[in-house]
Amino acid sequence: MNKLLYLILVVFLTSCSDSENESSSIEEGKSSEVKTIDQLRWIEGVWLDSTTFSFRNPTVSFMEEWKYYPDSISGKGFSIKENDTTIMQALCIREINGVINYVARPVGEAILGFPLTFLSENEAVFENPVHEFPQKIRYLKTSDDSLQVIISGVMPQGPQGERVVTFKMRSVSF
């Protein structure tokens, strides 16, 4: 009789433990919201860097131009030195195999992918920990006509530690 009670108790405890796991995984599933390209539409526009890099002479500014499409957001990155504008890279945000990716193709280089790791109403973070620099690209909408692009990571050469570069962008129209 004691063995039977012991067996029933073990089965009961095991089944309770399994139901808690099922319940918590169901709750986790509810909280994981599907992310879509449409949630990043706020990046669309022409953004001019207003950051002053005083160490550069002549000064260099940067500009990004983004166009929203239902399946992607396509863009270009430019550098502006005096009156000379140069395309630095082709940019695209699109879903690849169920994951939203920031894809950059610097001129003359291979495509770089940065999967989306965080998304909110005013912020998107893309990370590629194996990339040389940057490993993280963060877009932060600070107002309707401004955003910050923050690139960060550990430089493979040079001083140890994380390097962070913040570009303060404002919306412009042509």
pTM for the full predicted model: 0.77
Collapse the DSSP code of 156 into the 3-class scheme (helix H, G, I; strand E, B; otherwise coil) and give the result: coil
Taking CA atoms, 83 is separated from 64, 79, 86, 132, in Å, by: 16, 10, 10, 31
Collapse the DSSP code of 109 into the 3-class scheme (helix H, G, I; strand E, B; otherwise coil) and give the result: coil
pLDDT score for 11: 31
Q: Which domains does the chain have, with CATH numbers?
A: 37-172 (2.40.128.20)
> How many beta carbons lie within 10 A of that of residue 51, not counting itself?
16
Task: Measure the CA angle with vertex 88, ends 82 and 90; round to 5°.
Answer: 140
Bridge partners, residue 123, by sequence: 140
**pLDDT of the chain, 174 residues: tens digit per residue:** 434 333 333 333 333 333 334 333 333 333 467 899 999 999 999 999 987 665 667 778 899 999 999 999 999 999 888 888 898 999 999 999 999 999 999 999 999 999 999 999 999 999 999 999 999 999 999 999 999 999 999 987 767 788 999 999 999 976
pLDDT score for 45: 97
